[in-house]
Structure 1
């Protein structure tokens, strides 16, 4: 699933890059703001995957490498517990190896509380100020924002929150 999400994220970013290179289109007269995105229904797994890719694309900022997107399916999914354990192990492994500056770790799910739990468990053993130059994007419920921010900011990351609404 991790490879699928990375491939989908890369494909969407590549499509944006190719589209941006068209020179025959006239330049817009006013700066276009990013389209406001609406979160899909809580149990719409495919809709959430697409939504998260679009939100990540709008929040790349100064990220110089392909983002790492960590996603949990809806809690109603029969494979939720297994997906949670696999994603937790994947994040822990990435953090243990070290994340280089210029990278983005994006976390999102309709199961926002469980995603915050995953972030808490994964970042528990990361040393303070060891992730300077790394961007962490959390896409979830506003109720989880302060909790996630408290967990990741001491690690030195640039933290961004996008409310899924």
Structure 2
């Protein structure tokens, strides 16, 4: 009986203090926008992506899927493209192989083909906006129309690539958001 009385007494003393603190005005902190990194430094990109993701998490229920597209390897950029069998060299098909890019594309295709449920966020970003756009478009090649309603997709890249990405992803039903890296 004594412990019940003590618990009630403590509750009576603590409750008004807690209630008073709720009346205090809450100070909102407004995060200043972080500029998109101009280098391939992963730490800078992680900081940038965390800041951008925080601004777009309204209505998102889980951790975002982040696809940070690696820059083209220096050796691959200098290497001559090998023509495809048949003579006519398609510049996309004859590009040098880039293992990191190919693995990320396969992962993105697998994730998207499994189906991303409502309340999730997909972020596609990278130093090279055209490569990022190519990966985003490639990931959505086989996605059926209307299968990703309620999913938000952030494309972080140049405005020149935004419309191409929008055309590729909106049929799936995603909420498309473009974050311009020029800002």
By how many angstroms is 1:49 displaced?
A: 2.5
Q: Is the 8 A contact 2:34 2:48 kept in 1?
A: yes
SS in 2 for 1:62: coil
Deviations 1:1-42 (A, max 9, x none): xxxxxxxxxxxxxxxxxxxxxx799623xx554312111223
Q: What TM-score comes out, normalization by structure 2 length? A: 0.69
In 2, the alpha carbon distance for the partners of 1:137 and 1:92 equals 16
Matched, 1:122 2:128: no
- Alpha-carbon contact 1:45-1:74 (below 8 Å) kept: no
- The 1:55–1:78 alpha-carbon spacing in structure 2 relative to 1, beyond 3 Å, is farther
Question: TM-score of the superposition, structure 1-length normalised?
Answer: 0.76
Larger Rg, first or second structure (1 or 2): 2
Residue 88 of structure 1 is aligned with which of 87, 99, 105?
105
Q: Give RMSD over aligned pairs.
A: 2.4
Structure 1 residue ranges without an equivalent (≥5): 1-22
Larger mean Cα displacement after TM superposition, 149-158 or 78-87: 78-87
1:70-149 superposed matches below 5 A? 70-76=67-73, 81-149=98-166
Q: Judge conservation of contact 1:42–1:74 (CA < 8 Å) in 2.
A: no
- Tell me which residue corresponds to 1:41: 38
Runs in 1 of length 4+ with deviation above 4 angstroms?
Answer: 23-26, 76-80
Query: 2-side partners of 1:26 and 1:82: how far apart?
Result: 53
Aligned residue-pair number: 141
Query: Alignment partner of 1:137: what SS?
Result: strand
